[in-house]
Every structure is written in C-alpha cells, then in structure tokens.
C-alpha cells in the first residue's frame, strides 16, 4: 500500500472512530436507529458506487452498533424494506414513485420536507 493511501485510510479510520464515539458516548442517546441498507445493490449504481465506498457505511454501522451495546444504548435496525424515505411523516401516506433524484418530499396532504429529514423523522418514530 502506498504511503498516501495508508495516510488517507488512517485519517478515515480515525474520523469514524471519533465520530461514532461522539454519537454514542458524548451525546448519550437512549436509542439509536440505523437502516439496514442494501449496500451491494447501491454499489451497482455507477454514479453512487465510489461515494458509497469512500464513506465506509458498513464500518460506521458496525462501530455504532457495538459502541451502543458497550454504553447501554438501545440499538434498533430498521429493516431494509422499511420505507423511511417514501413515507409521509405527517399523514403516513407511502409515495411508491419516489426516485433517488427527488431530494424534496412532497405529499398530497401538503407536507413538504427535505427527503433525508423526512426519513430521519420516520426513523425516529420507529424508535418510539
């Protein structure tokens, strides 16, 4: 492995360690919910594959999970088929035709929200 690649890997590993520790240990949540994403399937999308690989989703997930158990934080995994992005946080309607490039969630009930914020709110409801 080249020195540059090793240095980048060390920086990424350190960042993941510190960030996951901050989330679990310093923020002291009572519950953490993470989605079980189909990473292999997402990697087939050539536009996303490099970005997904670079952020080390699995390693982040793994560390959050074991650190949650270590510090007594309830760890909840949302099933990969749970429609967190497609479900309206306001009325519960599921939008089946939501595409990845749709970054704003707009429901028939009038609810408008950033897609990721809407998904996060739905995951929060799953924890309760």
**Per-residue pLDDT tens over the stretch 20-68:** 999 999 888 999 999 998 888 888 888 888 888 888 888 999 999 999 9
Torsion on CA atoms 64, 67, 68, 72, rounded to nearest 10? -170
With CA atoms as reference, report the closest residue to 64 among 100, 91, 31, 41.
31
pLDDT by residue (tens digit) across 13-32?
999 999 999 999 988 899 99
pLDDT recorded at residue 48: 83
pTM recorded for the entire structure = 0.81
Render 77-96 in DSSP notation, one character per residue.
Answer: EEPTT--TTTB-TTT--B-T
Percent of the chain with pLDDT over 70: 99
| pLDDT beyond 80 at 1 | no
pLDDT recorded at residue 5: 87
pLDDT recorded at residue 16: 95
Q: Higher confidence at residue 104 or residue 26?
A: 104
- For residue 88, count other CB atoms closer than 10 A to its CB: 20
């Amino acid at each position: 492995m080249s020195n540059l690649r090793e240095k980048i890997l060390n920086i990424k590993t350190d960042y993941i360690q510190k960030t996951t520790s901050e989330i679990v240990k310093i923020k002291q949540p009572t519950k953490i919910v993470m989605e079980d994403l189909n990473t292999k399937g997402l990697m087939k999308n050539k536009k996303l594959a490099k970005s997904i690989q670079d952020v080390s989703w699995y390693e982040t997930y793994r560390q959050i999970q074991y650190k949650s158990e270590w510090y007594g934080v309830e760890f909840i995994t949302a099933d990969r088929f749970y429609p967190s992005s497609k479900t309206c946080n306001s009325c519960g309607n599921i939008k089946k035709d939501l595409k990845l490039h749709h970054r704003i969630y707009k429901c028939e009930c009038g609810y408008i929200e950033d897609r990721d914020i809407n998904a996060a709110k739905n995951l929060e409801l799953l924890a309760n």
